[in-house]
């Protein structure tokens, strides 16, 4: 039996933010939060989105109607999660969104490099999470082998950025790292910064962990007090360096 191709209506959507100025810096965007993530990052601020089989709360039909009404009022639509590339229906949803003339943004942890490579040609901006150096990745994600996929995805993104640099539709990006004392000390975070710069990253955003939305107590880590100092990071190695 031939398997039916996925369509946008198959997308499992957990929620919609109708207006955001932070999910894609410097753009007015609507943000779709997609259900499902293969990782279980201990500091996750959307833990309700981890379960992949949970039913979507919002049908694509409603999203499509919303987008039709917002033409000319929004710059972009950002697909966030969860991990958007977990769903095969992401690609048809991106294409449907582009038909309205919106720019398309994507948040990803890079868990599925092959899926990411299929959707990147249709993405205008990506915020890619690089959570740690490879040796420490599983401690953050709770999943052995997660580092290989994330760093492979970074290579894909940087390759696409270079390939589209002189095109009419260049790929914009930032690499983002969430900072929690159970994942980093200052020296470890600085090492990651140098590793990213060595890989060719020019735009790095460091995000302090915020308790809002996170589980309490956090899984798999002992309670920690204090904050990670950010003064010693190699900011001079990046064209754009942001602390949030």
More confident residue, 189 or 211: 189
| pLDDT computed for residue 183 by the predictor | 87
Order the strands of the 125-129 sheet from edge to edge: 13-20, 29-34, 76-80, 103-108, 125-129, 172-179, 203-208, 240-243
Count of CB atoms within 10 A of residue 82's CB?
A: 30
Instruction: Answer yes or no: are the C-beta atoms of 194 and 237 closer than 8 Å.
Output: yes
pLDDT band at residue 189 under the 50/70/90 scheme: very high
| pLDDT computed for residue 47 by the predictor | 93
Q: What is the mean pLDDT of residues 139-158?
A: 97
pLDDT value at 1 more than 60: no
What is the C-alpha separation between 77 and 60, in angstroms, rounded? 14
% of the chain beyond a pLDDT of 90: 83
Exposure class string for 17-38: b at 16+ Cβ within 10 A, else e: eeebeebbbebebbbbbbbbbb
| pLDDT computed for residue 217 by the predictor | 84
More confident residue, 66 or 220: 66
User: Where in the chain are the domains?
Assistant: 8-243
More confident residue, 184 or 24: 24
| pLDDT computed for residue 54 by the predictor | 73
Q: What is the mean pLDDT of residues 81-95?
A: 98
- Tell whether domain 8-243 is in CATH 3.20.20.70: yes
Q: Which of 10-19, 142-151, 199-208, 216-225 has the lowest mean pLDDT?
A: 216-225
| pLDDT computed for residue 53 by the predictor | 78
- pLDDT tens-digit readout, 192-230: 999 999 999 999 999 999 888 888 888 888 776 567 889
What is the C-alpha separation between 43 and 220, in angstroms, rounded? 10
Q: Is the pTM of this model over 0.85?
A: yes
List of residues 6+ apart from 204 with CB closer than 8 A: 174, 175, 176, 177, 193, 196, 197, 238, 240, 241, 242
pLDDT value at 2 more than 70: no
């Amino acid at each position: 039996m031939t398997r039916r191709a996925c369509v946008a209506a198959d997308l499992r959507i957990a929620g919609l933010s109708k207006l955001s100025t932070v999910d894609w810096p410097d753009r007015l965007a609507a943000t779709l939060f997609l259900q499902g993530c293969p990782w279980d990052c201990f500091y996750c601020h959307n833990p309700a989105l981890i379960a992949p089989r949970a039913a979507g709360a919002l049908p694509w039909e409603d999203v499509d109607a919303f987008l039709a009404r917002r033409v000319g009022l929004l710059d972009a639509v950002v697909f966030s999660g969860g991990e958007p590339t977990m769903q095969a229906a992401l690609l048809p949803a991106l294409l449907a969104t582009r038909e309205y003339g919106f720019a398309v943004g994507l948040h990803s942890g890079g868990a599925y490099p092959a899926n990411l490579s299929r959707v990147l040609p249709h993405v205008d901006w990506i915020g890619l999470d690089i959570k740690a150096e490879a040796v420490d990745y599983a401690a953050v994600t709770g999943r052995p082998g997660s580092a290989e996929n994330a760093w492979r995805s970074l290579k894909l993104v940087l390759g696409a950025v270079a390939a589209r640099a002189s095109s009419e539709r260049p790929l914009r990006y930032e690499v983002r790292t969430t900072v929690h004392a159970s994942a980093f000390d200052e020296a470890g975070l600085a090492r990651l910064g140098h590793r990213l710069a060595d890989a060719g990253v020019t735009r790095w955003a460091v995000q302090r962990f915020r308790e809002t939305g996170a589980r309490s107590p956090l899984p798999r880590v002992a309670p920690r007090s204090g904050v990670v100092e950010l003064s010693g990071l190699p900011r001079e190695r990046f064209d754009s360096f942001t602390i949030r």
